[in-house]
Amino acid sequence: MQFVDFSSKYGLGYKLSNGSYGVLFNDSTKIITHPNMFHFDYIDRNRSCQASADEKICKYDFFDYPEAINKKVVLLQHFKSYLDGNQKFKPLEFAFTKENAPAREDQGVQVPYIKKWKRARKAILLRNSNKMIQVLFQDQSELILCSGSGVVTFVNAKKEIKTVSVNNSSLEFDDPSLYKRLQYAKEVLVQMMSGNTAVTAASTF
């Protein structure tokens, strides 16, 4: 996953492995493109569209959306341009027109998006709408936790993948580096859910 932190002004922009681009704005609204780059979803707690838990999801395409969210649609294109490596802004180019637009293939299935995120001293934690949690460490390693699965996937800086049980009582001794990362991730998650800002863990990875 790629991301760019521009929370000093707008929010967090990112690109998912499925080809979708999204932004989690500072006002907690979200926008996420469909992989076909024609449709997108706008998520807001205060809009009367399709309800999903405590959020409201509105489904649009780039030729038909409310004027009220135009600035955020433009910002999405700026984030995408930056994530694609363009030094100058490059607006979206569409292979479709309104007349030959592709049908949405995700009816009833929500495109995943980032619901919350937190930057700590040693890592960034991302909580996704599909209940997956990703922790991106400064040394380019990564933890991936799926809610309810009981396992964690660790991708080290060399992109070597290891999957272990989170309830492995010998993990502290078998793999101290992974164990310390997991403990750190748990503390960051607790702090994020509680709304606190301080993360006191000081493990050496």
Query: What are 117-148's pLDDT values in tens digits?
Result: 999 888 999 999 988 999 999 888 999 988 77
The Cα–Cα gap between 102 and 8 comes to 36
The whole-model pTM stands at 0.79
Is the CB of residue 127 less than 8 Å from the CB of residue 144? Answer: no
Domains of the chain: 2-83 (3.30.1120.30), 115-194 (3.30.1120.30)
The structure tokens 């080809």 sit at 19
- Token pair of 115 as six digits: 């619901």
Residue 165: pLDDT over 90:
no
